[in-house]
Amino acid sequence: MDALYASAYPDLYTRHWWWRVREQILLKKIGTLLRGVSDARILDVGCGAALFFEALEPFGRVEGVESDSAAVALSGRWRDRIVVGDLDDRFAATAPYDLILMLDVLEHIAAPEAVLKRASDLLRPGGRILITVPAFTWLWTSHDELNRHVTRYSAAELRQVVAASGLVTLESSYLFQSLVLPKLLVRAGEALRPAPPRVPRIPSPPVNAAIQAWFRFEHAALGWLPVGASTLAVVGAA
C-alpha cells in the first residue's frame, strides 16, 4: 500500500462509507458461517493494524498475520495477537481455525495458490475461508495502483484459483454493484487524462450516511446481480 494511503487508512476504515458497508456485510456473513460455533478461532490474514478485531471479538478469539510491521505497530492492545510475517510454512498456529479471513489480500499476491493451500492446512474440519477481492480487471483504475494490486478477480477467475489450490468454492457473489458504472467512467477519464493516484476522501456526514444507506439497501435487494466492484467467496476443503 502507498505510504500516504497507509497513513490515512485508519480514518478511512473508521468513517468512510465503503469500509462501513463492507464491514456490515462481512459481519453478517461471518455470523452465518459461525452459527452454532462457540468461542470460534478466527485468523485474519493481512490484518494490518487489527482494525477489524474489535468487531470480530464477540465471535471468539481473533488472531492475525501481517507482513507490514509498521501497520502492526499501530495495533494497540491487539499487538500480541498478531504475527509479523506471511502466511507460509513458517507460520505456526497453536490450534486449527474455524474461520480464516482473506479480506482484500489475494489481489496483492502474484501466486495466491500457496497462501490458500497454507490456509487450508490451518482449518479445522468443516472450517471456512472467507475471501474478498476487487472484481474484474476491466475496472482497473489508479486506485489499484495506489493499493499496489497485482490483479482483480471475477467470480469465475477466483474459483479457478481456489480450485488450483485444492479447495472448493462453496458460494460466491458480487458486492457494490452500482459502483461499476462510476469506476468505468473513472477508467475512461484516466485513459484520456492520466493523473497520479489520490487517497480517497470521506464525504460530508450527510452524504456519507446517505451512500451507506444506499449500498446497504442495494446489497439486501440486488446482491444477486452477476456484476459488482468486489467479489466475495466462501471456500472450504475439497
**What is the rounded distance in angstroms from the CA atom of residue 129 to the CA atom of residue 237?**
9
| Predicted pLDDT at 206 | 98
Using CA atoms of 107, 152, 214, 195 in order, give the dihedral in degrees to the nearest 10: 100
pLDDT of residue 194: 87
Per residue in 10-37, pLDDT (tens digit) is: 999 999 999 999 999 999 999 999 999 9
As a CATH number, domain 3-237 is 3.40.50.150
- pLDDT score, position 195: 82
What CA–CA distance (Å, rounded) separates 173 from 29?
Answer: 12
pLDDT at 228: 98
Residue 9 scores a pLDDT above 70? yes
Q: Where are the domains of the chain?
A: 3-237
- Model confidence over 79-133: pLDDT tens digits? 999 999 999 999 999 899 999 999 999 999 999 999 999 999 999 999 999 999 9
Q: What is the pLDDT of residue 1?
A: 65
pTM of the model: 0.96
Q: What percent of the chain has pLDDT over 90?
A: 93
- Residue 200 CA to residue 126 CA, distance in Å, equals 38
What is the overall mean pLDDT for the chain?
Answer: 96
Is the predicted pLDDT of residue 60 greater than 90, yes or no?
yes
- For the segment 153-168, the average pLDDT, to the nearest whole number, is 98
pLDDT of residue 197: 87
pLDDT score recorded for residue 6: 84
Question: Chain centroid to CA 144: how far?
Answer: 14
Phi, psi of 47 (to 5 degrees): -75, -10
- List, edge to edge, every strand of the sheet that includes 82-84: 82-84, 60-66, 40-45, 97-103, 123-134, 230-237, 167-175
